[in-house]
């Protein structure tokens, strides 16, 4: 039986850690499908497969997935609710004989969290030094930066901020986010 | 004491009285009061005792950070009484007092002042005997040291840090700052205006002048889009690239501003005369603030010292508040208050053309001497000129110059995203400040690149000469720096001793070193020093302005910090098994689950499994991956057959061993390489760095977190894997030592390698992190019948030491070469290049100075500990790097460095135990257990 | 009250001692020109004039005396190093401090309150044991203490963090202490000046005139001076100054930052430092808590300080002493350190015959002020490098005889 | 906090970056003298003024070069190593 255990699952490394809820909501999407492609050949394969590649640090929609360009040859497909599209893509990627890049194992190496709610902007201003206000950081941008001192990929999705980061830091980051924002559930947004 | 009637007291809410205690006595105040204003309203002017002489001190500026006003709150030493808002039940105590504030036994020091000249501690306290200072004098000095008291149990409250970004930050919400902020915001800029007061408006909130302009500006602030007004917020420093900490209570905003305008006003400079430090002597602005903001009458009978027109306004305000005006002293030749002087005279106030020469009083001002005449008063309000608030601009690179003609200090900014507005720019006065704010905003807009309207012409201001009265008194107590109790003669003597450079003077005399950092001593000190050294005030200058501008609690600065903590995918399993966890770098690792000897025995006799997920795991892929590894590591990897695992050893460019691991060639163009737990971050970064220079066709992926790893080891290891079910042949012939396979174990995809640290048959299974728990469970299940035990770090260390495997960082240091480790076999001689090769060759020519060997100690005898010295003819030549009791062998096993001539098996060397006992040890092979290595190859 | 102070209290006029004479005009030549009027240069001048009879000495200082790293360091004095060479050298330094106040008739307030360095891991503890074993073997007062011992030495330390910051033991160095940094320089300056050494402030070296393998003259902003020997001892400016003489030093410059709180009634007797937190604390005799330990992570010749380093140091301090959260910070500053590849100084000869080096002091130079001054004076006076300095030769880098002190230098300065 | 402008990620606080020191030209190890090799190992560019140095943007693992004045700390230019002349 194939079985996966992510950090917050029973038996996982961050089992039982509660996530902030309320005006600030932290959701765990780690189990959602995604795939990272990295190294020479990655972009060529994607282009050959019909993807219109965004610039580095931008993202684009592709076949119901979000295609993130993290570097010249470093790409990430986020397939929340588009697992089948990802499976199809992976099938043809695996079958491709020529240069096609290599798996970056992002579905294993990274946790995927989403921070949302009315206090999301104030919370992000505490967690991250980059200017993430919507006028400066619209939805098609990616910030590779730090969240609470942890390296992370941040984007502003329609449903909140998506944060991808080292999966072994899951418990640590939950703790840091909770400590930095614990007051936001009771207070109005400022300044 | 009753308060002045409304409209005096704009900041207090008379409907909300508050009760608090000062020195154990109950005092009433109002919401909106500061501690200082409430105490002043109560007639309690003395707030503290001074640092050195324990003189009574109180309010000077109502704005500053002077030691005068520092009080002790519960768990919070050195709090500024003028700034801390009053709250119900607050316990306030005076600081630096022996006995009580009123009857401070330390006050005797004031009488002994003659015996404590400036720098006195350099002249005495030296004997008798060489440690007399430590034994006798320093404890005495330390008993007198310090101001406030820490409370060991204090938690410091809650601190939160965040970030802000803006086009323009305006610091200071006086008329200039308000005007700058609204001008820029109305032009479309994204503006933050921070002001440290509860209400913006600056001097217009306590002076008549400009008060009329304030409501209009505040309405524009309200209406301006994109203008964020942050009240009660202090900008406490300027750092590179306009990075500014804004602080309010327990909040820190690290603020990035594309442009900054400093509208920080000016700092009143007190004149110098004998007993100028008595409570009751206030800056004129302080008297005005007390009246306007807090409805506190600052005295009953006042003398005003005015060398600026503001002084006359202060006098009029005092009169209006019902304070009897005894006299106004204006020593300026030809100086006058114009219309205002006439008004005062009409009210019967005498205007004396002289300065205040002396004051007297014990705990409060009783009288001042003006032009030789003593005048009774309980208030002296001084308006003797200002210096631009230079701290922030100077931190940002501004220079504080001095106009010798007018005697005024003037700031000049460097080119850059910075501006000055208002009094800090020499544009005092309401209308001038407002216009200067608008000008500064337009200039900032232009620098931001937006359309900027032309500035309106600013009114010319021609400030009069600045003549700060400095009246040195032969008997002293004419204080220049109140924080540090420095008198005029102290500065003169300091110069006479040779410390005439301002920074030397500061260090010898401690001028400006106190809590207010020279705010109120700058002008007087510069003048005194200029006169004493024959230089101009401009040449003397002010001391370097260092951040922070005002005091800031350490907790606020520490708000953003916590050590990083990593957990392997199996963390939950270890906890469930009751493991004792130990930090290893950022990781948590199981130290032991049960009895360490049992764990060792299980590995030697049956099987054990160890979570090795913290190992670095790097995948190198691309046509030049092998060639790349050949350049990075000492062994040959390009010719490594597919499916084989090879040891890899990494040197730095100095030829020092920095890491080791294994490389599994998975395909022609793909290697899976491990690195040690502590080194992988650096190894990975170095790989990327080297390849940024070499530009080889290789991609490096750091899979450390993506993969978990379990090492199954022991005579029964193979049986356990077979029981768990594997997709590949596990037999020795099909899968020998130092081979790797991809396949499945217990249905989990794995990269399996025949490697280990224990010397037993070992299979290291690397699997995707999300599959680690199922794999662990399956192995546990399969191992039940075979005696499998999970083991921890401690057992692992013993097992590796029995086998003489080194741990880099423990058995090596910053200079260890492979030859010192006896690892010459790991150096490929044929490769033209690898990192460290050239240095290694040069170091080889120097010869060895030590060798790492195995050490065997006589059984039953005293054993040295780790790091104990190895001596040769009494001289240290090395040390024991690792030692442990081997349950397998029933004796100690150890590694250590010895002199190279002694590195021959059987040689006797001497180790020095921690208690000094010398013990003999025999040099032996590194490997104590199964020296031929047969067990691991089975 | 000490009798010495009676003189001040009972004299009608303040009895001026004149510690530092005003800068005189430059003479055409000096036996020894010392570039750098910091602690090291002034100490060398003192030892030359007092013990070697060399009084024709000019100390050239670009700014004001001891205004560089002497004024900016956090005054730790210790000898808890790892190598025999390092321990022998710094031990002599500590011994000289013990006599310094009386030798100079200037109270430098040397106080051996002891230094406690904290270990947060077994690996650190192991390195502490090595330092303790080596130090004790060579006669310094040093020992490893367990957590009980740590608590006894610093009762207010927060011990039970758990995790990576758990304190597992410490290195107690009873010889460790502090001194009033400025006073050390002033004491040497004052005594050197009394013996004829000239102190030239606001005197900047612009170039060196080479005559064959020697320096013939030193060109300054105030004129040209001939020289017998030249010593370079100018801290953060060693690299560019040596380069003017054609000597390229293996040095990179980094700012080192520190900060200080408002005065508090004494609560911390010993010096406390933590290698893992890169933080150390000492409470001065004024009651201020000096917090240091942060080197900037990239090369820079600047004494600007940063908010990030302040936050880092504050975090370290409150980890150790949580009650410091409500203590107010007064001031932060930085010095420019000159770091060598092996974190050890460069002393002795240079490739230029009469040019001597006292460089590469990085973050740890203050404690060596007396011993470097004394031994460099001996070197210059005799023309021979004494055995105690030989391991620190510039030539060690060409021959890979580096000093193995990297582990003992970090964070406790 | 100083800003460093990453050629790939744009302006960021310098604490997102790791300095790898001034660019060094390695001599040919086959022919260089011991003295030259030691010089390569131990001497770093440290002259007051502009140095060209390596930086890594840590979150994206991108390496680039910067021209920075090590006295004023002013960054004159940052560029991808592919653009190095």
Reduce the secondary structure of B265-307 to three states and give it as a string.
Answer: CEEECCCECECCCCCCEEEHHHHHHHHHHHCCCCCCEEEEEEC
pLDDT bracket for residue C164 (50, 70, 90): confident
Disruptive mutation site among B416, B693, B694, B702 for chain D (greatest number of D CBs within 10 Å): B693
pLDDT bracket for residue C11 (50, 70, 90): confident
Instruction: Please tell me the distance in Å from D80's CA to the nearest CA on chain B.
Output: 10
Asked if residue B245 and residue B212 are part of one domain, the reply reads: yes
Asked if the model's pLDDT at residue B452 lies above 70, the reply is no
Asked if residue B282 and residue B232 are part of one domain, the reply reads: no
**What per-residue confidence (pLDDT) applies to A171?**
96
Q: Which of B230, B566, B773 sits opposite A168 (nearest CB)?
A: B566
Which pLDDT tens digit goes with each residue over B304-338?
999 988 899 999 999 999 999 999 999 988 767 77
Asked if residue B234 and residue B211 are part of one domain, the reply reads: yes
**pTM over cut 0.80:** yes
Q: Is B685 in Cβ contact with D1 (below 8 Å)? A: no
d(CA B631, CA B626): 9
Asked if the model's pLDDT at residue A60 lies above 50, the reply is yes
Give me the total of CB pairs closer than 8 Å, taking one residue from chain C and one from chain D.
55
What mean pLDDT is reported for chain B?
93
Asked if the model's pLDDT at residue C150 lies above 80, the reply is yes
Q: Is B567 in Cβ contact with A13 (below 8 Å)? A: yes
Say what percent of chain C tops pLDDT 70.
97
CATH code assigned to C113-177+253-339: 3.30.9.10
Disruptive mutation site among B237, B241, B834 for chain D (greatest number of D CBs within 10 Å): B241
Average pLDDT over residues B43-57: 93
Average pLDDT over residues D10-38: 94
Domain C25-75+182-251+342-409 -> CATH class: alpha beta
Which pLDDT tens digit goes with each residue over C320-347?
999 999 999 999 999 999 999 999 999 9
Question: What six digits make up the tokens of B441?
Answer: 């905003």
Chains A and C make contact, 3+ CB pairs within 8 Å:
no
A132 φψ region: left (φ > 0), alpha (ψ -120 to 50), beta (else):
alpha
Residue D29 belongs to what domain range?
3-83
Asked if the model's pLDDT at residue B18 lies above 90, the reply is yes
Asked if the model's pLDDT at residue C8 lies above 80, the reply is no
* Closest residue in D to A151 (Cα–Cα): D59
Say what percent of chain B tops pLDDT 90.
80
Question: What six digits make up the tokens of A54?
Answer: 């965004």
Q: With b meaning 16 or more CB within 10 Å and e meaning fewer, what string describes C261-294?
A: bbbbbbbbbbbbbbbbbbbbbbbbbbbbbbbbbb
Provide the CA C273 distance to its chain's centre, in angstroms: 17
Whether the CB of C126 is below 8 Å from some CB of chain B: the reply is yes
- Residues from C in contact with D at Cβ < 8 Å: 239-240, 243, 248, 250-253, 297-302, 304, 306-308, 341, 397-400
* Closest residue in C to B134 (Cα–Cα): C111
Question: What six digits make up the tokens of C49?
Answer: 């004039």
Question: Is the CB of residue A12 less than 8 Å from the CB of residue A6?
Answer: yes
**What per-residue confidence (pLDDT) applies to B860?**
86
d(CA C225, CA C79): 38
Asked if residue B26 and residue B114 are part of one domain, the reply reads: yes
Asked if the model's pLDDT at residue B935 lies above 60, the reply is yes
Which pLDDT tens digit goes with each residue over A97-122?
889 999 999 999 999 999 999 999 99
Which pLDDT tens digit goes with each residue over A6-32?
999 999 999 989 998 888 999 999 999
What mean pLDDT is reported for chain D?
94
The answer to whether domain C25-75+182-251+342-409 and domain C113-177+253-339 are alike in fold is: no
Disruptive mutation site among B838, B842, B845 for chain D (greatest number of D CBs within 10 Å): B838
**What per-residue confidence (pLDDT) applies to B315?**
95
- Helix B309-320 vs helix B284-294: angle between axes, to the nearest 10 degrees? 40
Q: Is B78 in Cβ contact with C262 (below 8 Å)? A: yes
Given a contact as 3+ CB pairs under 8 Å, which chains touch A?
A: B, D
Question: Is the CB of residue B548 less than 8 Å from the CB of residue C259?
Answer: no
Tell which residue, B777, B756, B762, has the closest CA to residue B712: B762
pLDDT bracket for residue C2 (50, 70, 90): low
* B840 assigned to some structural domain: no
- Give the burial class of C54: count Cβ atoms within 10 A of its Cβ; 0-12 exposed, 13-18 middle, 19 or more buried: buried
| CATH code at position B925 | 2.40.30.110
Whether the CB of A126 is below 8 Å from some CB of chain B: the reply is yes
- Residues from A in contact with D at Cβ < 8 Å: 56-57, 70-71, 129-130, 143-146, 151-153
d(CA B664, CA B357): 89
pLDDT bracket for residue D44 (50, 70, 90): confident
**What per-residue confidence (pLDDT) applies to C214?**
96
Which pLDDT tens digit goes with each residue over B818-858?
999 999 999 998 999 999 999 999 999 989 999 999 999 99
Q: How many domains does chain D have?
A: 1
- Helix C181-194 vs helix B502-509: angle between axes, to the nearest 10 degrees? 110
Instruction: Please tell me the distance in Å from D24's CA to the nearest CA on chain B.
Output: 10
Whether the CB of D46 is below 8 Å from some CB of chain C: the reply is yes
Gyration radius (Cα) of chain A, Å: 17
Which pLDDT tens digit goes with each residue over B106-136?
888 888 777 778 888 888 888 787 788 888 8
- Give the burial class of D2: count Cβ atoms within 10 A of its Cβ; 0-12 exposed, 13-18 middle, 19 or more buried: buried
Beta strands in B100-221 (DSSP E): 160-171, 191-194
**What per-residue confidence (pLDDT) applies to A190?**
46
**What per-residue confidence (pLDDT) applies to B748?**
97
pLDDT bracket for residue A2 (50, 70, 90): low
Say what percent of chain B tops pLDDT 70.
98
Q: Is C306 in Cβ contact with D70 (below 8 Å)? A: no
Q: Is D13 in Cβ contact with A57 (below 8 Å)? A: no
Which pLDDT tens digit goes with each residue over B190-221?
999 999 999 999 999 999 888 899 999 999 99
Asked if the model's pLDDT at residue A1 lies above 60, the reply is no
Instruction: Please tell me the distance in Å from B79's CA to the nearest CA on chain D.
Output: 28
* Closest residue in C to B65 (Cα–Cα): C330
Q: List domains and CATH numbers for chain A.
A: 25-185 (3.30.1360.120)
* Closest residue in A to B617 (Cα–Cα): A109
Whether residue B548 has a cis bond before it, omega within 30° of 0: yes
Average pLDDT over residues C397-409: 79
Chains B and A make contact, 3+ CB pairs within 8 Å:
yes
Whether the CB of D60 is below 8 Å from some CB of chain A: the reply is yes
Whether the CB of C143 is below 8 Å from some CB of chain B: the reply is no
Q: Is C248 in Cβ contact with D43 (below 8 Å)? A: yes
Q: Is D8 in Cβ contact with A145 (below 8 Å)? A: no
* B877 assigned to some structural domain: yes
Which pLDDT tens digit goes with each residue over B755-784?
999 999 999 999 999 999 999 999 999 999
Q: How many domains does chain B have?
A: 7
Q: Which of D2, D41, D70 sits opposite C299 (nearest CB)?
A: D70
Which pLDDT tens digit goes with each residue over B659-706?
999 999 999 999 999 999 999 999 999 999 999 999 999 999 999 999
Chain D residue numbers with beta carbons less than 8 Å from the beta carbon of B837 are: 29
- Polymer length in residues for chain C: 413
**What per-residue confidence (pLDDT) applies to C1?**
52
Q: Which of A56, A71, A145 sits opposite D16 (nearest CB)?
A: A145
pLDDT bracket for residue C83 (50, 70, 90): very high
Q: Is D56 in Cβ contact with B685 (below 8 Å)? A: yes
Whether the CB of D19 is below 8 Å from some CB of chain C: the reply is yes
Which pLDDT tens digit goes with each residue over C190-232?
999 999 999 999 999 999 999 999 999 999 999 999 999 999 9
* B467 assigned to some structural domain: no
Asked if the model's pLDDT at residue B908 lies above 90, the reply is yes
**What per-residue confidence (pLDDT) applies to B428?**
85
* Domain coordinates in residue numbering, chain C: 25-75+182-251+342-409, 113-177+253-339
* Closest residue in C to B484 (Cα–Cα): C286
d(CA B465, CA B179): 27
Chain D residue numbers with beta carbons less than 8 Å from the beta carbon of B653 are: 41
Residue B722 belongs to what domain range?
572-614+705-816
- Polymer length in residues for chain B: 938
Chain B contacts in chain C segment 344-383 (CB below 8 A): none
Neighbours of C141 (CB within 10 A): 16
Asked if the model's pLDDT at residue B864 lies above 90, the reply is yes
Given a contact as 3+ CB pairs under 8 Å, which chains touch D?
A: A, B, C
d(CA B602, CA C2): 72
């Amino acid at each position: 039986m194939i079985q996966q255990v992510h950090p917050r699952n029973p038996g996982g490394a961050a089992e039982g850690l509660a996530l902030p809820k309320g005006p600030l909501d932290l959701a765990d999407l780690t189990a959602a499908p995604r795939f990272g492609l990295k190294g020479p050949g990655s972009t060529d394969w994607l282009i050959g497969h019909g993807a219109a590649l965004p610039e580095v640090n931008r993202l684009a929609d592709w076949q119901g997935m979000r295609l993130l360009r993290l570097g010249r040859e470093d790409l990430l497909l986020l397939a929340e609710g588009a697992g089948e599209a990802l499976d199809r893509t992976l099938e043809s990627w695996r079958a491709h004989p020529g240069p096609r890049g290599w798996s970056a194992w992002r579905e294993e190496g990274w946790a995927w969290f989403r921070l949302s709610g009315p206090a999301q902007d104030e919370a992000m201003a505490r967690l991250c030094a980059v200017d993430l206000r919507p006028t400066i950081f619209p939805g098609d941008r990616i910030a590779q930066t730090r969240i609470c001192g942890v390296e992370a990929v941040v984007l502003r999705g329609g449903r909140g901020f998506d944060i991808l980061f080292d999966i072994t830091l899951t418990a640590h980051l939950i703790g840091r986010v909770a400590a930095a924002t614990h007051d936001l559930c009771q207070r109005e947004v400022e300044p | 004491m009753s308060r002045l009637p409304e409209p005096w007291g704009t900041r207090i809410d008379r409907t909300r009285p508050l009760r608090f205690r000062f020195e154990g006595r109950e005092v009433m105040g109002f919401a909106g009061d500061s501690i200082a204003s409430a105490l002043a309203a109560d007639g309690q002017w003395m707030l503290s005792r001074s640092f050195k002489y324990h003189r009574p001190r109180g309010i000077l500026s109502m704005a500053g950070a002077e030691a005068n006003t520092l009080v002790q709150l519960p768990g919070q030493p050195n709090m500024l009484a003028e700034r801390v808002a009053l709250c119900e039940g607050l316990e306030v105590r005076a600081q630096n007092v022996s006995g009580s504030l009123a009857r401070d036994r330390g006050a005797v020091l004031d009488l002994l002042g003659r015996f404590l000249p400036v720098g006195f501690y350099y002249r005495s306290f030296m004997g008798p005997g060489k440690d007399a200072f430590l034994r006798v004098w320093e404890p005495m000095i330390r008993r007198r040291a310090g101001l406030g008291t820490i409370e060991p149990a204090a938690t410091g409250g809650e601190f939160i840090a965040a970030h802000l970004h803006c086009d323009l930050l305006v610091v200071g919400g006086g008329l200039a700052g308000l005007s700058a902020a609204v001008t820029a915001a109305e032009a479309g800029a994204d503006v933050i205006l921070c002001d440290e007061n509860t209400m913006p408006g600056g001097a217009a909130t306590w002076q008549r002048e400009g008060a009329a302009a304030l409501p209009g500006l505040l309405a524009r602030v309200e209406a301006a889009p994109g203008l964020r007004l942050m009240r009660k917020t202090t900008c406490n420093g300027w750092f590179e690239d306009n990075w500014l900490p804004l602080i309010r209570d327990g909040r820190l905003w690290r603020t990035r501003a594309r442009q900054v305008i400093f509208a920080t006003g000016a700092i009143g400079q007190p004149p110098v005369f004998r007993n100028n430090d008595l409570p009751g002597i206030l800056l004129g602005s302080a008297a005005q603030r007390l009246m306007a903001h807090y409805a506190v009458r600052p005295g009953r009978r006042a003398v005003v010292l005015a060398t600026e027109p503001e002084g006359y306004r202060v006098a009029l305000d005092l009169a209006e508040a019902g304070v009897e005006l005894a006299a106004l002293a204006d020593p300026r030749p030809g100086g006058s208050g114009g219309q205002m002087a006439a008004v005062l005279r009409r009210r019967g106030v005498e205007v004396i053309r002289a300065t205040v020469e002396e004051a007297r009083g014990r705990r409060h001002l009783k009288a001042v001497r003006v032009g030789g005449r003593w005048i009774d008063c309980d208030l002296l309000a001084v308006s003797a000129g200002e210096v631009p608030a230079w701290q922030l601009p100077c931190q940002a690179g501004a220079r504080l110059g001095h106009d010798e003609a007018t005697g005024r200090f003037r700031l000049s900014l460097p080119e850059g995203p910075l501006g000055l507005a208002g009094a800090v720019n020499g544009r005092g006065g309401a209308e001038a400040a407002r216009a200067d704010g608008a000008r500064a905003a337009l200039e900032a807009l232009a620098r931001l690149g937006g359309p900027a309207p032309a500035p309106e012409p600013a009114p010319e201001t021609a400030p009069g000469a600045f003549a700060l009265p400095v009246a040195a008194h032969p008997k002293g107590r004419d204080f220049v720096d109140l924080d540090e109790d420095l008198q005029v003669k102290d500065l003169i003597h300091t110069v006479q001793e040779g410390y005439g450079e301002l920074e030397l003077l500061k260090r010898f005399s401690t001028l400006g070193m106190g809590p207010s950092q020279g705010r109120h001593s700058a002008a007087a000190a510069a003048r005194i020093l200029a006169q004493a050294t024959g230089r101009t005030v401009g040449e003397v200058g002010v001391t370097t302005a260092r951040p922070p501008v005002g005091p800031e609690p350490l907790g606020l600065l520490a708000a953003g910090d916590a050590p990083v903590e990593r957990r392997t995918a199996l963390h939950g399993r270890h906890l469930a098994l009751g493991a004792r966890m130990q930090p290893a770098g950022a990781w948590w690792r199981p130290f032991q689950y049960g009895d360490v000897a049992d764990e060792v025995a299980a590995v030697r006799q049956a099987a054990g499994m160890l979570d090795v997920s913290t190992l670095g795991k790097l995948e190198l892929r691309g046509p030049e991956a092998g060639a790349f590894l050949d350049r990075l590591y000492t062994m040959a990897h390009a010719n490594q057959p597919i499916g084989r695992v090879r040891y890899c050893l990494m040197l730095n460019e100095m030829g020092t061993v920095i890491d080791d691991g294994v490389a599994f060639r998975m395909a022609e163009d793909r290697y899976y390489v491990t690195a040690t737990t502590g080194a992988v971050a650096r190894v990975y970064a170095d790989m990327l760095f080297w390849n940024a220079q070499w530009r080889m066709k290789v991609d490096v992926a750091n899979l450390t977190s993506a993969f978990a790893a379990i090492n199954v080891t022991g005579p029964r290891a193979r049986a356990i894997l077979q029981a768990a079910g594997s997709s590949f042949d596990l037999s020795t012939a099909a899968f020998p030592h130092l081979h790797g396979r991809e396949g499945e174990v217990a249905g989990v995809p794995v990269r399996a390698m025949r490697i280990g640290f224990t010397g037993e048959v070992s299979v290291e299974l690397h699997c995707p992190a999300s599959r680690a728990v199922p794999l662990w469970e399956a192995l546990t299940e399969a191992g039940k019948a075979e005696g499998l035990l999970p083991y921890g770090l401690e057992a692992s260390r013993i097992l590796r030491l029995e086998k003489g495997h080194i741990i880099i960082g423990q058995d090596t240091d910053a200079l260890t070469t492979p030859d010192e480790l006896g690892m010459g076999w790991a150096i490929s001689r044929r490769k033209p290049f690898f990192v460290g090769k050239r240095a290694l060759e040069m170091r080889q020519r120097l010869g060895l100075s030590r060798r790492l060997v195995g050490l065997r100690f006589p059984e039953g005898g005293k054993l040295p500990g780790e790091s104990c010295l190895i001596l040769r003819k009494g001289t240290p030549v090395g040390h024991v790097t690792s030692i442990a009791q081997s349950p397998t062998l029933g004796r100690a096993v150890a590694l250590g460095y010895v002199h190279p001539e002694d590195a021959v098996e059987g040689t006797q060397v001497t180790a020095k135990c921690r208690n000094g006992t010398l013990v003999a040890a025999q040099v032996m092979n590194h490997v104590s257990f199964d020296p031929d290595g047969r067990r691991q190859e089975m | 009250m000490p009798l010495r102070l009676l003189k001040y209290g009972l004299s009608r006029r303040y009895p001026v001692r004149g510690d530092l004479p005003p800068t005189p005009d430059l003479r055409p030549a000096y036996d020894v020109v010392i570039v750098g009027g910091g602690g090291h240069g002034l100490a060398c001048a003192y030892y030359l004039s007092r013990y070697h009879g060399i009084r024709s000495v000019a100390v050239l200082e670009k700014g004001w005396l001891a205004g560089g790293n002497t004024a900016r360091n956090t005054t730790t004095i210790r000898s808890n190093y790892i190598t025999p060479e390092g321990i022998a050298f710094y031990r002599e330094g500590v011994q000289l401090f013990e006599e310094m106040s009386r030798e100079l008739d200037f109270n430098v307030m040397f106080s051996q309150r002891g230094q406690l360095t904290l270990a947060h891991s077994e690996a650190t503890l192991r390195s502490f044991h090595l330092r303790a074993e080596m130090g004790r073997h060579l006669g310094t007062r040093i020992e490893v203490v367990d957590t009980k011992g740590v608590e006894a030495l610093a009762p207010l330390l927060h011990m039970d963090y758990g995790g990576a910051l758990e304190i597992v033991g410490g290195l107690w160095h009873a010889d460790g202490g502090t001194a009033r940094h400025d006073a050390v320089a002033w004491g040497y300056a004052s005594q050197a000046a009394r013996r004829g050494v000239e102190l030239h402030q606001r005197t900047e070296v612009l170039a060196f005139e080479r005559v064959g393998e020697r320096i013939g003259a030193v060109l300054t902003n105030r004129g040209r001076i001939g020289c017998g020997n030249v010593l370079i001892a100018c801290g953060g400016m060693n690299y560019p100054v040596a380069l003017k003489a054609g000597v390229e030093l293996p040095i990179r410059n980094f700012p080192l930052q520190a900060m200080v709180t408002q005065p508090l009634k004494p609560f911390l007797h010993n010096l406390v430092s933590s290698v893992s937190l890169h933080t150390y604390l000492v409470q001065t005799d004024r009651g201020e808590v000096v917090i240091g330990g942060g080197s900037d992570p990239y090369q820079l010749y600047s004494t600007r300080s940063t908010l990030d380093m302040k936050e880092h140091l504050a975090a370290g301090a409150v980890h150790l002493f949580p009650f410091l959260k409500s203590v107010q910070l007064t001031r932060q500053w930085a010095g420019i350190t000159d770091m060598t590849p092996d974190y050890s100084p460069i002393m002795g000869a240079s490739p230029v015959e009469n040019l001597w080096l006292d460089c590469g002091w990085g973050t740890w130079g203050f404690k060596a002020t007396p011993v470097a001054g004394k031994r460099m004076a001996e070197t210059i006076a005799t023309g021979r490098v004494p055995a105690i300095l030989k391991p620190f030769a510039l030539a060690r880098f060409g021959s890979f005889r580096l000093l193995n002190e990297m582990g003992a230098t970090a964070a406790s300065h | 906090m100083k800003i460093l402008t990453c050629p790939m990620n744009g302006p960021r606080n310098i604490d997102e970056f790791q300095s790898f020191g001034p660019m060094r030209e390695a001599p040919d190890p086959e022919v260089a003298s011991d003295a030259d090799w030691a010089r390569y190992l131990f001497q770093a560019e440290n002259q007051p003024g502009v140095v060209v140095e390596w930086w890594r943007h840590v979150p994206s693992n991108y390496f680039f070069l910067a021209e920075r004045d090590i006295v004023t700390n002013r960054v004159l230019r940052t560029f991808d190593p592919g653009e190095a002349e």
